[in-house]
Structure 1
Amino acid sequence: MTNTTTSKKTPKKQQDSTGPVWDWAAGHGPVTGALSATTGAFAVATTGAATGMPPGWALTAGVAGALGHTIAGLRVRNAGRTIATRAASWLVGAGWTTWAMTTGPLTWTALGSLATIGIGMGTAARTASLYEEAREEEALAAAARQVAAELSADRRAVAAEWVDRIQRVCGITLRVLAVEMWPTGTGFTIDAELPPGGTTYDRIAKESAKLSADANLPHGCTATAGPGIHQGRVLIDVTTADVLSAELTYPTDYGPLSIYTGLPWGYRTNAEEICAYLREQCALVVGPTGSGKTNMVHVILASFARATDILTWVIDLNAGSAGLPWVRPALDSTGQTTSGMRPGVDWLAGTYDEALLMLDAAVKVAKHRKMAYQDLLSQANTDLLPVSAQIPQVMLVIDEGAEILASNDPRMRKLAAKILEVIRIARAMGLRTVLTALGATGSVLGNLMIRREAKARVCLTGGEVEGMDLGKVFPGSRGLRVDQAPYKGSGFMGTPESPAALFKNWRILPNQIRDIVAATSDRHPVLDTPSAHAAGPAYARRWDTTRTAWMRDHLNPNPVPAATGPTSPPATSGAGGGLNLSALHDTSGSTPDEEAAVRAFMEEVDAHLGNTPEPPIGGGPPAASGLNLSALRDEDSTDSGPAWLAQAIEAIEAAGAAGMKPKAVADLVGRSRQAVRDGLKAAAERGELVYRDNGPHSVYVHPDHT
C-alpha cells in the first residue's frame, strides 16, 4: 500500500517541481515581448474607441517609440537588423492601433490582423536575437583570435630561435609542439618531439651550459632538458630571470602540513615551491662550510614542526647547535616548559651518550610497531603503517650524520650501526632519517644504504668547487655545474617526483624560529602509546633537568668557585700525604666510625705506596712523599692540557675551515704524534676543538670555523 501511494504521488511532485516558473524581474523574450505588444495595442485601441480618443495620438506615440529605440540601439551598437526590427514593431503596432480605433477593434478582421502582427513581431525578434548572439560570439572569437595570434607569434619566434640553437649546439633537429610561458614571468618551457632514430633527451641535457651561453642567459639562469610525456619527447626549461640571487625570508604562513602533502624546502628558478615527500624516503643534505647548510637544517626543522603527523628527533654532536634554537624558547632556566609551550623538536641529543639512547629507542620503536600494529595493517590492507596525528612518523635529523657513517672511531662506528639499522628496518613503520654531510665525496657517500634510501637529495654549493662532485649526489643527471649556483643557500635538489635542478632555500631567522615554535606548539602530535612504551624511560625522561642541564649552561656563565681557605678539606690524609680519594665518595654525612675507617685506609695506602716522591712541576721544591702518578701524564701538562696546546689551538684557528692534521700539529709544537693526538682529543672532548673524521684526511678544526 505504501509503495502504491508513493508511486502515485511521485508524478505530481515531479510536475510541481518542473512546472513553469514566472520570473517577473526578467526581461521580455520573443514570445512574451510580442504578446505584451499586441495586448497593449488591443487595450489602447479598445479604450480609445470607447472614449473617442483622437486616432493620431496612437500614431504619434508609435513614432516616438520607434525613434527612441533607434537612438538607444545606435548607442549600444546594435546591428542594423535589430534596430530596424524594433522600429518596425513600434510603427506597425501604432498603425494597427490607429486603424482599429477608426474602424473598431472588436471585429474579426481587426483581431486576426493583430494576431498576425504579433506572430510576425515574435519571429522577427527571435531572428534579431539570434543574429545579435552570433554577432557577439563572433566578436569575442575575433578578439581571442587576435590575442592568440599575437601570443602565437611570440611563441613561434621563441620556438624557431631554440630549434636553430639546439641544431647548432647539439646537432639535433626538434619539432616544437608547444611553448608555455611561466606565470611568474621568469622563463618558459618548450615541449618538443625528438627526431627519430633513438635520440634521447640526454643529448640536450649534457649541453645545458653551452645552450645557456649561446642564449646569453643571465648568471644563475639555465636551460635544462628533462624527460617529456614519453621517451620520444623532451621538456626544456629556460630560465630568463635570476631569482636565486635575491635572499627571500621564510614564508610567514605557518599553516599545518602533512607528511603526505609534501614539506616545502625551497623554491625553483621559476619561483615555485619544491616539496619533499618523506613517508618512505630518507633525505641527504650536502653542503660545505659557508654554503647555508645550517640554515637549510632549520628550514627542514620548520617544515617538520608545522606538520601535524611528524615528531622530530635531532642528533647534533657539535653541542646540539642544530636543535637548540628549537628547544630554548620552550624551556625556562630550570628546564621546565614555559606557559605549557612544547619545544619545536621532540628530542635533542647533543652528546654521544644521549645519541646512543635515542638511536636505541628508535630501533625499539620500529621493532615494536611491527608487532603492535598488525591488526591495523590488516584492516587498512597495507604493509605501510598509516601515519597520522595519533601514530606520528618519527624523523631523525642527524647533523653531519654522513660523517658519522664514514668514521673509523669505534664509538662513532657504534652510532653508525644504529643509524643504518634504523634506515634498514624502519621504512614501513614510519621512522626515516635526514642526514647532512660537509662534502659530496666518495668517502662520505660511499655507503650503499645512503645512496639507495636517501632519494630526496639536496646539494648546497654556494659556489664551492672542492669536494662537490654533483655526479655522486645526483647520478645520471646531466648538465649540473657548481657555478650555476654561486649564491649562499642555493644549489641543486632532486626527488623522485622532481628531477635534480637548481633551487634555493629561504633564509630563516632566529625570531622566526621562536615564532614557529610558539605557533606550532599545540600542533605537535604525541608519540603513540605502544611506541612510547617501547622507547622506555630513555624517552620518557628526555627532558629531565639532569639530562638537559647542558642546554642551560649559558644561563650560569660564572660558576661558583670551589671553596678555599681554612674550610677546604685537606688534599691528603696523614702526615706524609697520600692519594686523595674523597671524590669517589660522599663524606658529608659520614659517621665517626666511617671517618676512622677511611683514615686507616689512607694511612695503609701511604704506608705501601707513598715512598716514591713525585718530581716537582716547573722546577719547584720536592713534593711530599706519596703515590707517584707522573708516568700517566705529559711532563708539561696542566689541568687545561699540555703547555703546547695553546699554540696548537692558535694555529688551528688560523688555518680556518680547512683545519690541521695531528701530524702538522706535532711538527709545529715539537712533540710526538701520540702525545699530540692525546692532547688534541682531550681538547675536543672539552669543546676547545672539533674533530672532523675523514679517514686519512681527518683534521681538527676550531669551533669558530665549523
Structure 2
Amino acid sequence: MTKNSSSKQQAEAVSGPVWDWAAGHGPVTGALSATTGAFAVATTGTAAGMPPGWALAVGAAGAIGHTAAGIRLRNAGRTIAARAASWLVGAGWTTWAMTNGPLTWAALGSLATIGVGIGAATRSTNLYEEAREEEAIAAEQRQIAEALSAERREIAAEWIDRIQRVCSVTVRVLAVEKWEAGTGFTIDAELPGATTYERIAGHSAALSADAHLPHGCTATANPGIHQGRTLIDVATVNVLETETTYPADYAPLSLHTGIPWGYRSNAEQILAYLREQCALVVGPTGSGKTNMVHVILAGFARAVDVLTFVIDLNAGSAGLSWVLPALQHQPAEGERQLRPGVDWLAGTVDEAHLMLDAVLRIGHQRKISYQSLMTREDTDLLPIGPKIPQIMLVIDEGAEILVSNDKPLKKLAAKILEVIRMLRAMGIRTVLTALGSTASVLGNLMIRREAKVRVALTGGEKEGMDLGKLFPGSRGLKVDQAPYKGAGFMGTPESPAGLFKCWRIKPSQIREIVATTSERHPTLDTVSAQAAGEDYARRWSRDRIAWMHDTDRTPAIPADGDGTEGEPRQGLNLAALREPHPEQADRSDADRLADAFMREIDEQFGTTSEPNRSTTEPRPERERPERPGLNLSALREDRSSAPETEPEPGAEGGPEWLTDAIAAIHDAGAAGMKPSAVADHVGRSRQAVRETLKAAAARGELVYRDNGPHSVYVHPDHA
C-alpha cells in the first residue's frame, strides 16, 4: 500500500463518510426525509400550540406545486399523482398527530407505514419514468432510422433501375452506406447468376452520366465480399477539384502500417504498403509529379523504419529541398545538427553508380549476415524495423533510365534492375517515376511485375497516358475524369485502381518536416554500413556535396564597359576577339597568344582553317554574301605566309572536295541537294559523302532538312 492511500484511509476514519449534499433524494432518503419532517413539525407544533389546519394548508400547497412542476416537465400522470398524494398524506398525518398527540404508538406506527408507502411509490414512479424516457429515445431513433431507411430505399430503387437500364443487369441491393465525409455513398449489391462485377465496372462512365453526377465524380464497381456481390462507390461531391495542403500532423509512421500518398474521392486517405512492393508514378509535365515525389519523400521522412536514397540526374532537384535545410542549418549552442530528410542524394551518373554499388553490397551482405535472425524469427523476409531500416530508392524519371539507349545510362539501368530483382526480401525497394504510361516504359517485364503500387497523374493530359496498360483489368478509367493538377488514378494490391488526389506540399512544410523528423530517422545497421563502405560513409563529405552549395553562382560580367555592367553577358564570350590586357601582352608574344586563342576556339567550337587550298593550284575564293552569325576568320592564320597543305582525311574541317560540295549546295538555293546528288557531283562514294555532310551540318556549315527519302542539305544562306 502506498503512502498516499494510507493517508487517505486515515483521513476517512477520522472524518467519517462524506455526504454529497447536492445529490437528489432516492426512494429511501426521500421517504425518510418526508416522515422525519412530518414528525418534527407535529411535535414542534403540538408543543407550541400551533393550529393543526396550517399543516394541512402547507401540504395542499406542496401538492399543487409538485403537480404544476410535473406537468411542466411532462411527467407521467402516475408520477404526478404519487408525488401530490405524498404531500397530502404527510400533511394529513401531521394534522391528525397535532390533534391527538404525535408520541403515541398509533401515530408512530402510522408514520412508519406512510414512509414505507412513499418509498415504494417513489421507486415505482422512478422506474416508470426511466422506462418512459428510454422508450422516447428509442422512438426518436426509430423515427430517424425510418427516415434514413426511406432515403436508402429510394437510392436503392433508383440505382436498381439505372443498372438495369444501362448495364442490362438486374441486381438486388442489400445495403446503402453513406460516407462519413458526406461526399457520396456505397451500394452493396448482389449480382444475378454468373454475372461478375466487371459487367457493371465497364459502364462506369455511362452510369455516371445517367445519374447526372458532377464532373470528377464517378460510379465505380469494385469486388464485394464474395464474387457474387459488388460494391458500387458513387461520389456525389468532387473533392478532387479543390487543392488540399499536406496534413500538418507530422506524426511518426511505419512502413508496415502504410505511407499515405493522397486521398480518394470519398476523402479517405490511401496508403501505400511498400515492404515487398515497388512503386511506379507516371505523369506528364505539369501534372504535379514533382509535388507527389515530395509527398512520397515526406512520408518516408516521417517513417521510423525507412532510409531514403534519391537519384535525380536533373541536378538532384528532387532531393535538394530535403537536403539544403539541414546543410544550411546553423545549430545554436547545445543544439544538434539537423539530419537531411533523405539519407543519400545522387545528382550525377557517377554518384548514382556509387550509390547503386553500395546498395547491392548492402543487399548481398544482409543475405549472409542475417540468416540466423531470419531463422530465429521463422521468416524468409528480413525483419524491418528502426534497428534494421528498409532502404527506399527513389529514382526520378527512373523508368526512362531503364529504357534509355545511352551507354552510360544502360549500365545504370542494369544495376537498378538488379536491385529490383534481387533485394526484395532484404528490405530494399524502389519508387520510379516516368513521364507517361507508354509501351516503352511498361514494356519492361520487371517493372510490370514488381511495381504493383501504381500512380497515374493525368492532369487532363491524354497523350502517352494509356491507363489500360498501367492498370490492366481495370475498366471505366478515363483521363478526363481527373483533369486537375495533382489528380489521377492510383492502384495498389490492397486497393483497386480508382480516382485519387495528391496533397499539395509547400516548401515551408518540407523545411518543417526536415526539422521535425531529424531525430526520428533511423541509422543504417552496422552490417549494412560496413558493406556500404567509404562510399556511404563519405556521402556528405565536402568534395561530394560541393555542387549542392553552388546555388549562388552568377554568370561572369564583362570586364570592359560595353553598356552591360552589372548584367550577365548574353551569348558567346569570344574573349579571343578582345584587345589583350597589357600584362598579358608583356608575358607572351603575339604569335603565342594567337596560337592559344586558336586552340581555345577549336576546343569549344570545333573550328579549323578552311580547306580551300589545293596542293597543285590555288582555288579562287567564292564571293559570299554577308550574313549574321559568327565569323571566326579573325582568328585564322594569315594564309599568304603559311605553307599550303592538303587537309588530312578525317580532319575536323573535312576532305578537300567538301568546299566544292558546299558551293554546289549553295548554288542549289533553298531546294538544297540530296546526299546522292552531292556524291555524283564530287565523284565520291555515297557513304563517305553522307558522313562528311553530317559532320559539316554538326559544325554549322550546312543545315539538314529531314524529310524521309527526300531529305536534303541546305546552305545556311538559304535555310
Match of 1:65 among 44, 62, 66: 62
CA shift for structure 1 position 551: 2.6
Distance 2:205 2:696 in 1: 49
Once the two structures are superposed, what CA deviation does each residue of 1:354-391 show, in whole Å capped at 9, x if it has no partner?
Answer: 11111110011111122233343344343333323332
Distance 1:69 1:672 in 2: 118
Q: Which SS does the other structure have where 2:456 is aligned?
A: strand
Partner residue in 2 for 1:185:
182
| Native 8 Å contact 1:314 1:347 kept in 2 | yes
Partner residue in 2 for 1:200:
196
Partner residue in 1 for 2:301:
305
CA shift for structure 1 position 527: 1.8
CA 1:672–1:272: 2 relative to 1, 3 Å: farther
Match of 1:488 among 485, 490, 509: 485
Match of 2:409 among 396, 409, 412: 412
CA 1:37–1:680: 2 relative to 1, 3 Å: farther
Partner residue in 1 for 2:568:
none
- RMSD after superposition: 3.7
Partner residue in 2 for 1:293:
289
Match of 1:251 among 244, 247, 250: 247
Match of 2:546 among 541, 545, 549: 549
CA shift for structure 1 position 38: 2.0
Partner residue in 2 for 1:234:
230
Match of 2:434 among 429, 433, 437: 437
Match of 2:389 among 387, 392, 398: 392
CA 1:675–1:288: 2 relative to 1, 3 Å: farther
Match of 1:56 among 53, 58, 61: 53
| Native 8 Å contact 2:654 2:692 kept in 1 | no
Partner residue in 1 for 2:208:
212
Partner residue in 2 for 1:331:
327
Match of 2:355, as an amino acid?
M
Once the two structures are superposed, what CA deviation does each residue of 1:580-620 show, in whole Å capped at 9, x if it has no partner?
Answer: 99xxxxxxxxxxxxxxxxxxxxxxxxxxxxxx9xxx98564
Once the two structures are superposed, what CA deviation does each residue of 1:532-575 show, in whole Å capped at 9, x if it has no partner?
Answer: 111111111112232223333332233699997257789999xx
In the alignment, structure 1 residue 93 sits paired with structure 2 residue 110: no
Partner residue in 2 for 1:640:
none
Once the two structures are superposed, what CA deviation does each residue of 1:634-688 show, in whole Å capped at 9, x if it has no partner?
Answer: 659xxxxxxxxxxxxxxxxxxxxxxxxxxxxxxxxxx9886899999999xxxxx
Gaps of 5+ in 2: 1-12, 558-572, 601-614, 616-630, 656-687, 701-719
Partner residue in 1 for 2:131:
134
CA 1:621–1:531: 2 relative to 1, 3 Å: same
Partner residue in 1 for 2:676:
none
Partner residue in 1 for 2:275:
279
CA 1:125–1:556: 2 relative to 1, 3 Å: same
| Native 8 Å contact 1:285 1:459 kept in 2 | yes
| Native 8 Å contact 1:572 1:580 kept in 2 | no
In the alignment, structure 1 residue 621 sits paired with structure 2 residue 617: no
Partner residue in 2 for 1:264:
260
Distance 2:463 2:509 in 1: 33
CA 1:624–1:390: 2 relative to 1, 3 Å: farther
CA 1:449–1:681: 2 relative to 1, 3 Å: farther
Partner residue in 2 for 1:348:
345
Match of 2:447 among 443, 447, 450: 450
Q: How high is the TM-score relative to the length of structure 2?
A: 0.76
CA 1:400–1:154: 2 relative to 1, 3 Å: same
CA shift for structure 1 position 226: 0.5
Q: Relative to structure 2, which stretch is displaced further, 51-60 or 471-480?
A: 51-60
Match of 1:222, as an amino acid?
T
Distance 2:346 2:590 in 1: 37
CA 1:379–1:465: 2 relative to 1, 3 Å: same
CA shift for structure 1 position 39: 2.7
Fraction of identical pairs, as percent: 69
In the alignment, structure 1 residue 156 sits paired with structure 2 residue 149: no
Q: Relative to structure 2, which stretch is displaced further, 564-573 or 255-264?
A: 564-573
Q: Relative to structure 2, which stretch is displaced further, 79-88 or 273-282?
A: 273-282
Once the two structures are superposed, what CA deviation does each residue of 1:504-552 show, in whole Å capped at 9, x if it has no partner?
Answer: 1122233333333333333322222221111111111112232223333
Partner residue in 2 for 1:174:
171
In the alignment, structure 1 residue 315 sits paired with structure 2 residue 332: no
Match of 2:394, as an amino acid?
V
CA 1:388–1:570: 2 relative to 1, 3 Å: farther
| Native 8 Å contact 2:255 2:273 kept in 1 | yes
Q: Which SS does the other structure have where 1:78 is aligned?
A: coil
Distance 1:544 1:679 in 2: 45
CA shift for structure 1 position 263: 1.5
CA shift for structure 1 position 204: 0.7
Match of 1:536 among 533, 536, 548: 533
CA 1:176–1:382: 2 relative to 1, 3 Å: same
Partner residue in 2 for 1:507:
504
Distance 2:213 2:462 in 1: 22
Distance 2:694 2:304 in 1: 47
CA 1:73–1:386: 2 relative to 1, 3 Å: same
Match of 2:116 among 107, 115, 119: 119
CA shift for structure 1 position 395: 0.8
Match of 1:548, as an amino acid?
I
CA 1:97–1:357: 2 relative to 1, 3 Å: same
